[in-house]
Amino acid sequence: MIVLGLSGSLTHDPSAALFVDGRLVAAVEEERFLRDKHAKRQWPYHSAHYCLEVAGIAPGDIDAVAFPFAAFGLSYPGRWHFAKRYWYAPERALKAIFNGNRHFRRNRDAILKLMRDLSIDPDRTPFVPVPHHLTHASSAYHLSGFDGKVAILGIDGKGEYATTFFGYGENGQIHCIKEFFDPDSLGGVYGALTQYLGFEMLDGEFKVMGMAPYGDPAKYDFSPLIQCDGRSFTVDTTLVNTVGLRRYKQDGLGFYFSPKLVDWLGPKREGDEIDDPYVDYAASMQKLLEDVALQLIETYLGDILRETGKLCFAGGVALNVKLNQRIIDLPHVHELFVQPAASDAGTAVGAASYVAHEMGDAIAKQEHVYLGPSFSTEDGRRACESHPAKPIFEQVPDAPQAAARLLAEGHPVAWFQGRMEFGPRALGNRSILGDPSQPGIADRINAQIKYRERWRPFCPSILDRAAEEILQTRHPAPYMTFAFTVAEHWKARIPEVVHMDGTARAQVVTQATNPRYYALIEELEKLRGVPVVLNTSLNRRGEPIVCTPGDALDMFYGSDLQYLFVEDLLVRKTK
């Protein structure tokens, strides 16, 4: 079967994913083509076109188009829960009861138009809507490669109405144990505090997580935000997850927290510095998320985990690596698989995998995220020749070796190769690299290349043969979705990729999935004695990861980078 998944149902992170006979062959976010981070209020036209083109699939060959948003009848408990909890905004409450599928109809009409724009005939190719949280579940469960009975967890801001999903998978079928509904949303509360701390919701949650280790969670009790008895939780909507007149407003913009929260905690944070008391607020929010999530995991998934030891996790909150670290540390969790594109971009994968399974395909394990466009050395040459900055470039016989030498000399290097990664993490194909044993390299990349907050941490890419010694675990970690405590004797050797709490959000690199990147790290090891490279995404603050050689050159000339590799080309600004 050939199933195309299209996302964008919640007005952000549109993407496309293509399954052929149960195998994920292509996936990409629309933001990479539009050069507009999160591509809000857009639809995945370029993404879908790419997926079909790279797979050699004609529009008429598609068996189904899957979409991660569905309609729910009046008896669905989420609609009534929404109406009850939003009583203070009666217009919204009444719409949930009397017009509760208005968003679905808007989405359906937009996707049917998109299908026609792509020359996919809706009269011949079924449009198949799938409930949002079921797509998150499928994206993690069906692609995990796990056998037998598997616990499934989904936590995000919200889908149609659900915000949190507990279930299990067995024999390919997904079973729901418990759902929680808007406005009772762990992801929503974290997003509201992200806004209060001065960052953008749906983008700055990583910054809150990175800020948290600088603070003391014991200084402030954030439990008033979420009342949890272990079996259920309720968000205080007089403080967060607010709508309508309850929202705090500034410069004409409404936020997902209330003036009452500002009265309690003080003015909304501004600026880029990590300052008191806001670092402590970040620490308290992170601890609250972890504590509530772990209580609910024990209640609804504890018995299954003690039976099987396997957990699949998706939804935006699944990208919180500190929460994932605590989940892995649970005695009855033997292996955790987090969908590497766990946010709403990954729902295109989840919708398509769910529909492909329902149509009879066995879904293959996801082995990597290198699913986007690729470009040749000649493509890079043409981009250099046409770029207005007139870069100096040469073809080198051994790009990994040449890059490693520059890294060992203390230079940051932009590294562009192969197919672009799907998801928010650059994993060695669209990356900025540094030698993690060189003091100050992280500060330089933050200040002069990424132009982002100086306290933001960087990630290590580690050779698989050295990972257990450095990270003190054998747990798989191919996608930078987990934090691990770095071994004491390694902290001083790779200080630029160890966060201030002694942890690292690591990528374990294998020769099988990325031989060229593996060779680069091996060359650096020969020169500096560390089987690790500092890795961050090839973009500047506020921009999507680069897609094309032209994008890479634009970023190169918009920063202090001096060296860029595009496949076998070494690009310089000066001789």
d(CA 431, CA 419): 12
Catalytic pick from 12, 142, 357, 368?
12
Distance CA 134, CA 183 (A): 19
Residue ranges with strand state E in 10-141: 15-20, 23-29, 64-67, 127-129
Report how far residue 2's alpha carbon sits from residue 388's, in angstroms, rounded to the nearest whole number. Answer: 42
Q: Residue 337: what are its φ and ψ, rounded to 5°?
A: -110, 120
**Residue 250 near residue 258, CB atoms below 8 Å:** no
- Name which of 425, 438, 454, 424 is nearest 214 in CA terms: 454
Q: CA-to-CA distance for 385 and 381, rounded, in angstroms?
A: 6
Residue 12 annotated in active site: yes
Angle, vertex CA 254, rays to CA 248 and CA 256, nearest 5: 70
Strands 173-181 and 310-314 turn out to be unpaired
CA distance 543 to 532: 26
∠ CA 120-123-127, rounded to 5°? 70
Q: Which helix (H) or strand (E) holds 291?
A: helix 278-308
CA distances from 168 to 72, 180, 294, 325, 435 (A): 22, 16, 17, 21, 42
Hey, is 370 helix, strand or coil? strand
Distance CA 447, CA 203 (A): 20
Q: Cα torsion at 514, 478, 356, 349 (round to 10°)?
A: -100
In 39-191, DSSP assigns E strands to 64-67, 127-129, 150-155, 162-170, 173-181
- For the chain, the straight-line distance linking the first and the last C-alpha, in angstroms and rounded, comes to 53
Token representation of residue 527: 């020169």
183 cis-preceded (ω within 30 degrees of 0):
yes
Catalytic residues, by residue number, are 12
